[in-house]
């Protein structure tokens, strides 16, 4: 008989996480480190994002959804940079008394995404948390050398596009914080907004079209207004956005109609995990058809303009919207 497995951590790894680590470079999680061997002529794109209980999710969220969200917020960044997922490392900080049932659910959710996105667990560390659960993931993607899509390439005249719909998750978070806000909403609208907060949908399929056509891109995680401002600042430009063109789900429209201030929540709240990108004017048609072939809805919402003012969001009457808090911050 082999010597027994010693520690609680070894047991957790063997029971819950080794099955997510089938890549040969992970060595079955029995070594101290993993190997990533990029194909010749490729760069490794590196990204880390952490989610913390009571900050980025509710401690009573289903554990499987927490695991998936932790990976997906990173996959969203890789997609925006044009990268194909290649694997990830995970630090999991667990409060004393975390039970196996929670871990089994967490690993099952994460494992489903490992398969869905073909993104293996390559290694990790499990530590005691003195507070809530925290999951920090460092994700790796691959791009042909020199083709990572940057934030800083937007030029005046470029068209500004976003994927999917904006604001659902922030409005869903509002419903979690104040369930009374759901009063006027149909059940399917409420469920849509709640599920968009709980489980991001990274636009992985858009990576290649972005690499081929975008002058700049980033994922929208801290609110469209604030994130677009960051892209513009990095590029040394400004933007004019037609607020009426920002794509909203029917559920978001209902929530906005029901409660004053909700449009601002939609445009400045966090957790969209959509992509905002800029496309040279001659490339828009090609980008739109590539996105359509990839199955990702994209909407033109405005244009990059010269200058260094914050991007202006203008309504149908030509009035600029003003935001009390243009970007989400956890601090």
Using CB under 8 A, which residues numbered 125 to 144 contact its own copies? 125, 127-132, 134, 136, 138, 140-141
Tokens of 266: 């939609």
**CB distance 254 to 171 below 8 Å:** no
Question: Does the footprint of its own copies cover residue 155 (CB under 8 A)?
Answer: no
Distance of closest approach, residue 49 Cβ to its own copies, in angstroms = 5
The smaller minimum CB distance to its own copies, of residues 317 and 330, is found at 330
Going by C-beta distance under 8 Å and a sequence separation of 6 or more, which residues neighbour residue 290? 208, 209, 212, 213
Please count the residues of the chain. 331
**Does an H or E element contain 230, and which?**
helix 224-235
> What single-letter DSSP state applies at residue 7?
S
Question: Does the footprint of its own copies cover residue 99 (CB under 8 A)?
Answer: no
Question: Does the footprint of its own copies cover residue 308 (CB under 8 A)?
Answer: yes
Question: φ, ψ for residue 179 (rounded to 5)?
Answer: -55, -25
Question: Does the footprint of its own copies cover residue 222 (CB under 8 A)?
Answer: yes
Question: Does the footprint of its own copies cover residue 206 (CB under 8 A)?
Answer: no
Question: Does the footprint of its own copies cover residue 152 (CB under 8 A)?
Answer: yes
Number of residues near its own copies (by CB under 8 A): 80
**CB distance 132 to 52 below 8 Å:** yes
Find, among 258, 254, 211, 241, the residue nearest to 309 by Cα: 241
Which residues 173-192 are close enough to bind its own copies by CB under 8 A?
A: none
Distance of closest approach, residue 83 Cβ to its own copies, in angstroms = 7
Question: Does the footprint of its own copies cover residue 101 (CB under 8 A)?
Answer: no
The smaller minimum CB distance to its own copies, of residues 189 and 225, is found at 225
Question: Does the footprint of its own copies cover residue 103 (CB under 8 A)?
Answer: no
Contact pick of 53, 111, 202, 247 for its own copies (by CB under 8 A): 53
3-state secondary structure of 116: helix
Cα dihedral sign, 81-85-86-90: positive
Per-residue three-class SS string for 131-155: CCCEEEEEEEEEEECCCCCCCCCCC
Distance of closest approach, residue 41 Cβ to its own copies, in angstroms = 9
The smaller minimum CB distance to its own copies, of residues 92 and 263, is found at 92
Which residues 228-267 are close enough to bind its own copies by CB under 8 A?
A: 229-230, 232-234
Distance of closest approach, residue 259 Cβ to its own copies, in angstroms = 25
The smaller minimum CB distance to its own copies, of residues 3 and 260, is found at 3
Going by C-beta distance under 8 Å and a sequence separation of 6 or more, which residues neighbour residue 321? 243, 263, 264, 267, 313, 314, 315
Pick the piece of the chain touching its own copies (CB under 8 A) from 80-88, 177-185, 258-266, 294-302.
Answer: 80-88
Pick the piece of the chain touching its own copies (CB under 8 A) from 42-50, 61-69, 105-113, 190-198.
Answer: 42-50
In order, the DSSP letters of 236-266 are: T-EEEEEGGGS---HHHHHHHHHSTTHHHHH
Contact pick of 316, 317, 324, 330 for its own copies (by CB under 8 A): 330
* Whole-angstrom distance, CA of residue 62 vs CA of residue 219: 25
CA atoms within 13 A on the CB side of 41: 1
Pick the piece of the chain touching its own copies (CB under 8 A) from 108-116, 173-181, 285-293, 306-314.
Answer: 306-314
Question: Does the footprint of its own copies cover residue 91 (CB under 8 A)?
Answer: yes
Which residues 2-41 are close enough to bind its own copies by CB under 8 A?
A: 2-3, 6-10, 27, 30-38, 40
């Amino acid at each position: 008989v082999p010597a027994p497995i010693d520690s609680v951590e070894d047991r957790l790894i063997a029971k819950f996480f080794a099955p997510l680590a089938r890549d040969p470079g992970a060595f079955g999680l029995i070594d101290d480190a993993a190997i990533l061997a990029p194909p010749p002529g490729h760069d490794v794109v590196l990204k880390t994002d952490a989610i913390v209980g009571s900050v980025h999710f509710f401690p009573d969220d289903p554990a499987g959804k927490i695991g998936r969200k932790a990976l997906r917020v990173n996959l969203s960044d890789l997609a925006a940079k044009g990268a194909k997922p290649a694997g990830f490392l995970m630090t999991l900080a667990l409060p004393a008394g975390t039970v196996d049932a929670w871990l089994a659910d967490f690993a099952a959710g994460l494992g489903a995404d490992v398969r869905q996105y073909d993104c293996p667990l390559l290694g990790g560390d499990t530590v005691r948390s003195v507070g809530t659960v925290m999951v920090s993931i460092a994700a790796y993607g691959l791009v042909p050398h020199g083709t990572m899509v940057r934030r800083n390439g937007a030029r005046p005249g470029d068209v500004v596009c976003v994927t999917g719909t904006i604001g659902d998750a922030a409005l869903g978070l509002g419903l979690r914080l104040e369930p009374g806000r759901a009063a006027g909403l149909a059940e399917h609208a409420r469920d849509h907004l709640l599920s968009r907060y709980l489980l991001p949908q990274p636009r992985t399929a858009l990576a290649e079209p972005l690499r081929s056509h975008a002058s700049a891109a980033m994922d929208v995680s801290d609110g469209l207004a604030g994130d677009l401002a960051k892209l513009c600042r990095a590029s040394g430009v400004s933007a004019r956005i037609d607020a009426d063109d920002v794509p909203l789900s029917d559920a978001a429209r209902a929530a906005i109609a029901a409660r004053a201030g909700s449009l601002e929540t939609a445009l400045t709240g966090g957790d969209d995990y959509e992509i905002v990108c800029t496309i040279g004017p001659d490339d828009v048609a090609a980008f739109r058809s590539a996105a359509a072939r990839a199955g990702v809805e994209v909407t033109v919402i405005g244009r990059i303009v010269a200058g260094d003012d914050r991007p202006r969001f203008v309504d149908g009457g030509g009035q600029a919207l003003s935001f009390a808090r243009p970007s989400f911050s956890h601090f």
